[in-house]
Structure 1
Amino acid sequence: MILLLSLSCGWHAGCQSEPDSGQSVVGRVFVEGAPLEHGVITLRPLQGTPGPKVVAAVRDGEFQIPAEQGPWPGKFEVLISATPSDVQAVMSGASHEEIRKRASEPPRIIASPKQGATRQHLVVKAGESMECEFHLKWAPVR
């Protein structure tokens, strides 16, 4: 699940780009004050915004999307999800025993709009790189 409680972005003037070329986006992701260890950020274009969705890895609270792979100018919905601990174990080459142990842990899920979080949008402008910071909360454990 997904979503954000607060977002701050700064715009930095850069080289002029074609309107249909990607823009660079860098940022940080925090969940309840701590950097998100492993996750994924997705920028999904909203109606009227050309170009593909953009997906990037979040590692130790940071992500980087170079202009060559970045979003085209327009408005995007921002989705952030945490990587489950068992998947992290597989990615790090952990033993089968460790993977099984982590698979039995309850998943940590980032709060969604159904759980009171606010939908976040990002406006990407041509010729400007962006720096963003996201502050999220974990969903209540059931």
Structure 2
Amino acid sequence: MTAAGQHPRRLDDGEMATWLPVIRFVQLLPQVLDRTLKEEVGLNHARYAILVTLAGQGEGTVTMTELARIAGLSRSRLSHALDSLEERGWVERTSCSSDKRTLSATLTAEGREMLRTAAPVHVEQVRELVLDPLTAEERAQLEAILSKLLPGVTAAL
């Protein structure tokens, strides 16, 4: 309720026409990516995102806090996913040498190999579902729009 006791402003028809496809897309895309990765390589999308994030760090390690932030996962969801990845030999967790309470994760050689297997499946689907239907100009517009919106969403986490 607003100060005047009225309901917050509702979305008008034009705003709703913009908003509904956004909701549908952000709900469906992860499900489709997840299903395909599971079917093709036995890896869900959240775990794939963790492997990609770790691979992007080169040979370095990433703290759990930083990994959760980059991958967009809660600490508990990240911990559960890392348990699974560690059991498969794809990730190794270690304590920080200066602070034993701080855990870090590193991608193993086996994890890099899994990523080499999964990446083509993921890339093909990203191109098919997101990039190929758009012109180069539309891709640039999408990048600009999302770059403008992401900071607000990230800050709200």
Q: TM-score, normalised by structure 2?
A: 0.25
Q: TM-score, normalised by structure 1?
A: 0.27
Structure with the higher strand share, 1 or 2: 1
Structure with the higher helix share, 1 or 2: 2
